Structure 1
Amino acid sequence: MLAGDPAKRISFNRCIRNGDLVIVYERHDSMKAVTVAEGSVLQNRFGVFKYSDWIGKPFGSKVFSNKGGFVYLLAPTPELWTLVLSHRTQILYIADISFVVMYLEIVPGCLVLESGTGSGSLTTSLARAVAPAGHVHTFDFHEQRAASARDDFQRTGLSNLVRVGVRDIQGQGFPDDFAGLADAVFLDLPQPWLAIPSAAKMLKQDGTLCSFSPCIEQVQRSCETLRTSFTDIRTFEVLLRTYEVGEGKMERLQENGKGSNGSLPCKRRQCSDGGYVLSSNISSVVAKPCGEARGHTGYLTFARLKCLS
């Protein structure tokens, strides 16, 4: 994460201080965000961890509890924050986020408009992409949700890069203050076609727009509206397949009944041709697809503002 004050900047190159936000990593599917408070402790299944022991250690450190258990202390990158943030709404995950940032051509210095903010998962990555001189203006019609997102951006050190507004973009459109200034617009709305005319007015010449929708009917109606002011309209569905890596048993065929060390137990196994071979089980690092793979999250529709000349 990036913060305006260099002294408070979250970085892999400095040590943890009192008041820092830290991602406590137990394993790939068990992490939580905590704020370091000197004099307090963290209790989990591995024991009791004193925050005072963390202060002064670099991000990435392995720390031990009173029982000898351990966790890792990681910096709150946008990728990790997406995995630990509070879900106030359905969120975008890393596969969709990375595709959005790339295809919207977001680089340092860009001005990006977003609606709606939701849980702030995408907003966090957008802020890193535009840093240090760019800005993200994100809007949500729900006042409490916007306030919670604002608090999260303060915790993660992004408040100088992100401004959260309360506004019904579908009904009111984006504020006129941004007309012709935005490099990119992102819409995550139930009726994005209502906001597309306003988004077109906000974009610079050759600016890009992305609309995220879970249903193909929303995509179809959005594309009809986009044709008025946009070109190069494309829709993508990003599917991610995750693999688990760990120790497993593998069968090794043997010619002489012995393993590589000459002592592994073997067993006979009949082949399809009626002959026999000898085999033994060995331990090895194996990779296999996760049993519960996340499938469809939504459709990403991209478009580029038509040139007026």
Structure 2
Amino acid sequence: MLLTDSTKKLSFNRKISDGDLVIVYEKHDTMKAVKVSEKSVLENRFGVFKHSDWIGKPFGCKVSSHKGGFVYLLAPTPELWTLVLSHRTQILYIADISFVVMYLELIPGCVVLESGTGSGSLTTSLARAIAPMGHVYTFDFHEQRAEAARADFEKTGLSSLVTVGVRDIQGEGFPKDLVGVADAVFLDLPQPWLAIPSAGEMLKPDGVLCSFSPCIEQVQRSSETLTSKFTDIRTFEVLLRTYEVREVKMDQCQSEEGTPGSHRPSKRKHRASEASHWQQDSSGSPVVMARPSSEARGHTGYLTFARLRCVE
């Protein structure tokens, strides 16, 4: 369970039990969510792992197969769940999620409205931020996606914190029984400007709205609509640059490449030389090197925030 079971608080000291959800970590880009069942086994390239051997071990432990391979059993935090969940739609990732949670000013006890639910990546982090007394009301117009999201929230222990509704928020607005109860509203819609008037009705005085849009034209039109009832309108683009850090061995030729008087290599040779720095060379001495990851993500979308104007 992620958050709600008080007898199983999220901790690396908690022991794994039959029926728990664990994240099986094979390497940094290969993880999967597995429900522990005493009679089940996990088979992968590292061997065969019996679930019965996992029961009683602490989260974060390393377990080995009969072949000598190993995996790590990690607690299913919202960050890890974002990396392993089924992508029913394009999802928000950690950089945008953390920014949203901070700028929506979420604390335990807050009430948040969200549309649309999608794969539930953001919803999971919203639920952790407002737990244990708050609540997230999330809506998706697609019945099958909503049902799949409910199943995921049940699996991760969030069902008491999240209510999933099926509703076309762009066309119908949020339900009237939620008027004035929300501390924050998040919109991930093709035409968010259609839902902004309803979102304003849902918010408490001084409440915050966030709209996620991939295109700047959507941002411009949403901002025009926001000016009627909102203030402090700001838009951000979060770009995350990840670096890889490794210990490698460099030969003397590579080590002297940048010495004074040496000729600057051509761009093509420089790239080839840079790539070779990752290769192990037993003739050199160990050096710790860092460089930008070749898999770094670029633009995901624009985050527009606005605060509901207080009426005097």
TM-score (norm 1): 0.90
- Matched to 2:34, the amino acid is V
Structure 1: distance between partners of 2:145 and 2:258: 62
Give the distance between the partners of 2:259 and 2:159, measured in 1 at CA: 67
Amino acid corresponding to residue 116 of structure 1 in structure 2: G
Structure 1 Cα separation of the partners of residues 159 and 232 of structure 2: 34
* Residue number in structure 2 paired with 1:176: 176
The one-letter amino acid of 1:243's match is Y
Q: Evaluate the alpha carbon distance shift between residue 37 and residue 251 of structure 1 in structure 2; reply closer, same or farther with a 3 A threshold.
A: same
Partner of 1:302: 305
Greater fraction strand = 1
Alpha-carbon distance between aligned partners in 2 of 1:120 and 1:96, rounded to the nearest angstrom: 14
Determine the C-alpha separation between the residues in 2 that align with 1:270 and 1:198: 64
Contact map agreement 1:3 1:159 (CA 8 A) in 2: no
Q: Identity across aligned pairs (percent)? A: 76
Q: Give the deviation of 1:153 after TM superposition.
A: 0.5
Report the counterpart of residue 153 of structure 2 in structure 1. 153
Q: Give the conservation status (yes or no) of the 8 Å contact 1:2–1:131.
A: no
SS in 1 for 2:48: strand
Aligned partner letter, 2:218: Q
Q: Following the alignment from structure 2 to structure 1, what is the Cα–Cα distance between the partners of residues 292 and 147?
A: 39
Q: Distance in 1 between matches of 2:117 and 2:258?
A: 60
Structure 2 distance, partners of 1:270, 1:200, is: 62
One-letter code aligned to 1:300? L
Aligned partners of 2:293, 2:262: CA distance in 1, in Å? Answer: 35
The alpha-carbon deviation at position 271 of structure 1 amounts to 5.1
TM-score (norm 2): 0.89
Following superposition, the deviation at residue 273 of structure 1 comes to: 8.1
SS at match of 1:210: strand
Instruction: Measure how far apart 1:5 and its partner are.
Output: 3.5
CA 1:273 to 1:13, structure 2 compared with 1: closer, same or farther past 3 Å? closer
SS in 1 for 2:225: helix
Secondary structure in 1 matching 2:97: helix
1:249-293 per-position Cα deviation (integer Å, ceiling 9, x unaligned): 34679xxxxxxxxxxxx999985289xxxxx83222222111121
CA distance in 2, matches of 1:120, 1:213: 17
2:202 match: 202
What SS class does the counterpart of residue 37 from structure 2 fall into?
A: coil
Distance of 2:18 and 2:103 partners within structure 1: 38
Q: Name the structure 2 match of 1:96.
A: 96
Q: Does 1:284 find its partner at 2:287? A: yes
Q: What's the CA shift for 1:39? A: 1.1
Q: Deviations for 1:104-147, whole angstroms, at most 9, x for unmatched residues? A: 10110000000000000000000000001000000000000000
What residue is the counterpart of 1:24 in the other structure? 24
Residue 116 of structure 1: aligned partner: 116
Using a 3 Å threshold, how does the CA distance of structure 1 residues 81 and 267 change in structure 2: closer, same or farther? closer
- Residues 135 and 162, structure 1, Cα contact 8 Å, conserved in 2: yes
**1:170–1:191 CA contact under 8 A, matched in 2:** yes
Tell me, which stretches of 5 or more residues in structure 2 are unaligned? 264-282
**Which segments of 5 or more consecutive residues in structure 1 lack a partner in the other structure?**
254-265, 275-279
In the other structure, the counterpart of 1:132 is: 132
- The aligned residue for residue 46 of structure 2 is 46
Instruction: Report the equivalent of 2:85.
Output: 85
Verify the 8 A CA contact 2:2 2:77 in the aligned structure 1.
no
Change (3 A) 1:44 1:233: same
Question: Which residue type is aligned with residue 151 of structure 2?
Answer: D
**Counterpart secondary structure, 1:183:** strand
Query: Amino acid of the residue matched to residue 71 of structure 1?
Result: V
Cα 1:15–1:224 change in 2 (3 A) is same
Superposed CA offset, 1:133-191 (max 9, x none): 00000000000000000000011111111110000000000001111110000000000
Paired residue total: 292
Distance 1:179 1:48, change over 3 A: same
SS in structure 1 of the partner of residue 284 of structure 2? strand
Q: Which residue of 1 aligns with 2:243?
A: 243
- The equivalent position to 1:272 in structure 2, one of 258, 261, 270, is 261
CA distance in 2, matches of 1:282, 1:293: 29
Alpha-carbon distance in 2 for matches of 1:8, 1:96: 29
Based on CA coordinates, which of the two structures has the bigger radius of gyration? 1
3-state SS of the aligned residue for 1:71?
strand
Task: Provide the C-alpha distance between the structure 1 equivalents of 2:196 and 2:222, rounded to a whole number of angstroms.
Answer: 8
